[in-house]
Amino acid sequence: MTKRCPSCKTEVPRDARVCPNCPESFADESDDMPTVGTTWSIVPIVFFIAVFALVAAIWFIVARKV
Protein backbone atom coordinates (compact mmCIF):
# COMPACT_ATOMS: atom_id res chain seq x y z
CA MET A 1 0.00 0.00 0.00
CA THR A 2 1.51 3.28 -1.12
CA LYS A 3 0.52 6.92 -1.37
CA ARG A 4 1.85 9.78 -3.44
CA CYS A 5 3.77 12.74 -2.12
CA PRO A 6 1.56 15.82 -2.61
CA SER A 7 4.64 17.88 -3.43
CA CYS A 8 6.74 15.79 -5.86
CA LYS A 9 4.24 12.97 -6.70
CA THR A 10 6.75 10.27 -5.68
CA GLU A 11 5.25 6.99 -4.47
CA VAL A 12 6.11 6.52 -0.81
CA PRO A 13 5.10 3.86 1.75
CA ARG A 14 1.65 4.46 3.21
CA ASP A 15 3.00 4.78 6.76
CA ALA A 16 5.86 7.10 5.77
CA ARG A 17 6.07 10.31 7.76
CA VAL A 18 8.45 12.15 5.43
CA CYS A 19 9.07 12.01 1.68
CA PRO A 20 12.39 10.33 0.71
CA ASN A 21 12.62 12.47 -2.42
CA CYS A 22 11.88 15.96 -1.08
CA PRO A 23 11.60 17.74 2.30
CA GLU A 24 7.83 17.23 2.33
CA SER A 25 6.40 15.78 5.54
CA PHE A 26 2.95 14.20 5.75
CA ALA A 27 0.89 15.42 8.67
CA ASP A 28 -1.17 12.21 9.05
CA GLU A 29 -3.86 13.41 6.64
CA SER A 30 -6.30 10.60 5.97
CA ASP A 31 -4.14 7.83 7.42
CA ASP A 32 -5.50 5.90 10.35
CA MET A 33 -3.23 6.13 13.37
CA PRO A 34 -3.10 2.72 15.07
CA THR A 35 -1.28 3.93 18.18
CA VAL A 36 -3.83 6.64 18.92
CA GLY A 37 -6.71 4.29 18.11
CA THR A 38 -5.39 1.65 20.50
CA THR A 39 -4.91 4.23 23.24
CA TRP A 40 -8.45 5.59 22.86
CA SER A 41 -10.03 2.13 22.82
CA ILE A 42 -8.57 1.51 26.30
CA VAL A 43 -10.09 4.69 27.77
CA PRO A 44 -13.70 3.38 28.09
CA ILE A 45 -12.41 0.16 29.71
CA VAL A 46 -10.33 2.11 32.26
CA PHE A 47 -13.28 4.44 32.89
CA PHE A 48 -15.63 1.47 33.44
CA ILE A 49 -13.17 -0.14 35.89
CA ALA A 50 -12.78 3.18 37.74
CA VAL A 51 -16.56 3.67 38.02
CA PHE A 52 -17.02 0.03 39.10
CA ALA A 53 -14.31 0.41 41.77
CA LEU A 54 -15.93 3.65 43.01
CA VAL A 55 -19.41 2.06 43.19
CA ALA A 56 -17.96 -1.01 44.93
CA ALA A 57 -16.16 1.19 47.45
CA ILE A 58 -19.34 3.21 48.19
CA TRP A 59 -21.41 0.01 48.45
CA PHE A 60 -18.82 -1.50 50.82
CA ILE A 61 -18.93 1.61 53.11
CA VAL A 62 -22.76 1.69 53.09
CA ALA A 63 -22.98 -2.07 53.70
CA ARG A 64 -20.65 -1.83 56.69
CA LYS A 65 -22.74 0.94 58.30
CA VAL A 66 -25.96 -1.09 58.16
- List of residues contacting Zn ion (CB under 5 A): 5, 7-8, 10, 19, 21-22, 24
21: helix, strand or coil: coil
- Closest approach, Cβ 5 to Zn ion, in A, equals 3
Give the list of residues 6+ apart from residue 10 with CB closer than 8 angstroms, or none.
4, 19, 20, 21, 22
- Closest approach, Cβ 18 to Zn ion, in A, equals 9
- Closest approach, Cβ 31 to Zn ion, in A, equals 16
Cβ distance to Zn ion smaller for residue 11 or 57: 11
Cβ distance to Zn ion smaller for residue 7 or 39: 7
Give the list of residues 6+ apart from residue 7 with CB closer than 8 angstroms, or none.
19, 22, 24
